[in-house]
A and B are shown apart, each in its own frame.
Chain A
């Protein structure tokens, strides 16, 4: 039990199940955390911290209660929100769930509430990044395996994996998330998402080089010179995506001044 003056931080293992256990413990112990953070989060001065152990059964009961007390959509919404990189998403999700338990389905219509709004925008951000990566991911063929590397802000792998599994049902592939050091590995026997400290790749084949050249040739010729609009291009395909793409966009902009000018305006 905490007295009203102490800040209480819950620490958990960073998994969705672990987060759900924070909700469970808060209800069982009738306490209200002011912060929910992962174990590697910085401990703050003057706050009590409590380590929340992940218990699969506790997580399961909270997860089921989301559908029962709020609505089926709440499960998906919160799973997506959890993928977000929005600061302090956990405490917002905590408040959302408390509100949802009281309001039920009505919470979906409370779009101007600051907590709901914060999470709706976070999920929108996740959706936008997923949509971009569905198109911008580039696979390189290494023998029988296709490999792609990405540098996303949000944890998009759980959302991207089913799309590519469905698209290439008979192929093996690996998508490596450099930001979060995670990978989805798909083999004929199944697909897993796992943590991966490092990924070292062999040099690419001549055939691969040839197709990259053909792709660049296509991109160069498909643009209409008279309509050149690098600012529009960069708005729709922000530069942070470029480094993981085969297009080698930077070399397209040999004129460094132009690039700087566009960035200055952006």
Chain B
């Protein structure tokens, strides 16, 4: 089998891993080495599905000894199998990198005979890159659940980022669909990486030139829609991962059916892309906007409304905190206004030192007035033709099709319990 065939098979097998970012670490180039890294990450192309291509994302092998039900590479599946040699991986990475096709390598693998053996081969490939080819670009490596801590540590000193995929947000899901994977086996390497990063930080404080351990941090991914797990349990799990394990990112991957199995959604199920999108919006609210998971969904309403973004949804349920005066509201409150992002909130704070802001000025600052105008005052006034009335606002924020499904209550204000009821209906229809 030639390299082209292997590349086709092992790229195809790696594509459901959504993480492809090359961010989180700034490392300057050096004489005698090839490459550098940029903390914001760089996208080198966009695939036909609109996803960014930043790293050469491949599996070392798709010959798996495990039989996880949701996975394309499970041992019982009839697919073409291939395994790269460590040198082939290093060669491909260098040649793609020189041509500026990629920022670096994202190496993962199926479990080839044993977790330890798999990780040893991955370490070999990455050692050739780092030590022989003097590659100084970005490397994201998967820790294989069940592998020895010693191997996790060794790989952590060569990679910029590491990840262990949770895949299924709850233990029951894992037991049903991935009988070979134990929750402990996933959490053990994750905890080892977290500890390694903390120890390394202390070490670096004393010895400036101590080798860096996973400098771009750790990430994970969860599959969305393969199990009945609610948004509530997914977001609660994410929040714990950010807090307890200090993860840099939690990625969500809408489940694309690859197999017929009674325990899984049927093979013609469309991937729940809108739900995935809403989860990412919620994730951003938690990471950059000061929201807690509980504020986005709770036990009573465990799933997000698909018809409206989570920030608008929160605002609609907390109208008592609005409208806010743009020229006086604290930064944290500006962040909670739909249509105001981190950038525009910062610019508002900056610009209002000099002048009293009006709606024209806000537009210049990059505020999305289409949404924001319902929740703000400029110098004590609302925007023209805006009524501060929940029914009016809700209709304006929904897509025309969803708005048409709302119960009509002409002239009178819609009550919040009615909105909560319509909430479910809209969510149901859009899903």
Contacts and interface: CB of A to CB of B under 8 A. Distances in A.
Interface residues of B, number: 59
Interface stretch (A10-18, A35-43, A210-218): A210-218
A228 B48 contact: yes
Interface string B94-133: 0110111101000000000000000000000000000000
A199 B32 CA distance: 30
Nearest to A237: B46
B43 A167 contact: no
Judged by DSSP, the binding face of A is helix
* Interface hub of A117, A167, A219, A229 (most chain B Cβ within 10 A): A167
A84 interface: no
A141 B49 contact: no
Contact of A217 (B8, B49, B98, B360): B8
B148 interface: no
A233 B30 CA distance: 34
A236 B100 contact: no
Interface stretch (A86-94, A131-139, A189-197): A131-139
B273 interface: yes
Contacts of B350: 108-109, 111
Contacts of A224: 15-16, 49, 51, 256, 271
B48 A230 contact: yes
A213 B4 contact: yes
A236 B52 contact: yes
Contact of B347 (A111, A134, A220, A226): A111
A250 interface: no
Contacts of B12: 221
Interface in A210-266: 211, 213-215, 217-233, 235-237, 245-247, 252
B50 interface: yes
A137 B50 CA distance: 19
Contacts of A211: 95-96, 99
A169 B30 contact: yes
A132 to B, nearest CB: 8
A182 interface: no
* Interface hub of A131, A137, A166, A171 (most chain B Cβ within 10 A): A166
Contacts, number: 157
A215 B101 contact: yes
A115 to B, nearest CB: 12
A214 B113 CA distance: 28
Contacts of A111: 347, 350-351, 364-365
Nearest to A245: B45
A112 B351 contact: yes
Contacts of A102: none
A112 B365 contact: yes
A244 B3 CA distance: 26
Interface string B240-270: 0000000000000010100000000000001
A225 B12 CA distance: 10
Contacts of B270: 226
Judged by DSSP, the binding face of B is loop
Contacts of B29: 165-169
* Interface hub of B4, B33, B99, B361 (most chain A Cβ within 10 A): B99
B341 to A, nearest CB: 14
B381 to A, nearest CB: 17
A148 interface: yes
A206 interface: no
Contacts of A170: 31-32, 34
Contacts of A218: 7, 11, 56, 96
Contacts of A141: 98-99
Nearest to A106: B354
A155 B271 CA distance: 42
A176 to B, nearest CB: 14
A146 interface: yes
A9 interface: no
Interface string B40-84: 001111111111111011000000000000000000000000000
Given A138-B99, A170-B31, A211-B95, A222 B47 contact: yes
B36 interface: yes
A112 B355 contact: yes
B91 to A, nearest CB: 10
A174 B194 CA distance: 42
B385 interface: no
9 contacts: A106-B354, A108-B350, A112-B365, A117-B364, A166-B36, A167-B36, A168-B29, A217-B4, A245-B45
Given A135-B100, A213-B4, A217-B11, 13 more contacts: A109-B350, A112-B357, A134-B38, A135-B54, A138-B101, A167-B29, A168-B29, A169-B32, A215-B101, A226-B270, A227-B271, A229-B50, A236-B50
Interface of B: 3-4, 7-8, 11-12, 14-16, 28-36, 38, 42-54, 56-57, 92, 95-96, 98-101, 103, 137, 254, 256, 270-271, 273, 347, 350-351, 353-355, 357, 360-361, 364-365
In the A-B complex, the 6 residue pairs with the closest CB atoms: A232-B50, A112-B361, A223-B47, A221-B11, A227-B49, A229-B50
